[in-house]
Amino acid sequence: MEHVLKDTDFLVSQTDSKGKILFANDDFCKIAGYTLDELIGKPHSIVRHPDMPKAAFKELWDTIKSGKIWTGYVKNGMKNGGFYWVYATVYPNIACGNGEGGYMSCRRKASVDEIKTVEALYKTLQ
């Protein structure tokens, strides 16, 4: 079942250079349905939804590895089997963990219209 975000929801997570979760804020944990302890150290694909096309994540990784900011729409899975859509901005070279450059993603609610458009696009990429 879809969980629709509130306008004020703001989901933040930080990873190391390989996409291993180092931090997630309260909104991220609550909406995903995990405690922070369950998330830390796990690959970020723990919240991956099978409807997400591989091409979207390839573009994400190509962009952030080249030092640029990636923005895009992401459908994430919840621990309870539900899902939610976000508009994500992923920042490269965030100083976290081991002094190594990592990444940070900030997510806000995606609108019904945005979701409709992106859903149709992602179906063509599957």
Query: What is the contact surface with ligand FMN in residues (CB under 6 A)?
Result: 13, 15, 19, 44-45, 47-48, 52, 57, 60, 74, 76, 90, 103-105
Concatenate the DSSP letters of all residues of 92-105 into one string. EEEE-STT-EEEEE
Q: Which is nearer to ligand FMN, 74 or 110 (CB)?
A: 74
Closest-CA residue to 75 (of 104, 49, 45): 49
Between 17 and 99, CB nearer to ligand FMN: 17
Angle between the N-to-C axes of helices 112-125 and 54-65, in degrees from 0 to 180, rounded to the nearest 10: 100
**What is the gyration radius of the CA atoms in the chain, in angstroms?**
14
Shortest Cβ 63–ligand FMN spacing (Å)? 10
Whether 102 and 17 have beta carbons less than 8 Å apart is answered as yes
- Write down the least CB distance from residue 90 to ligand FMN, Å: 5
Q: Based on CB atoms, which residue is closest to ligand FMN, 5 or 60?
A: 60
Task: Give least dist CB 44 to ligand FMN, A.
Answer: 4
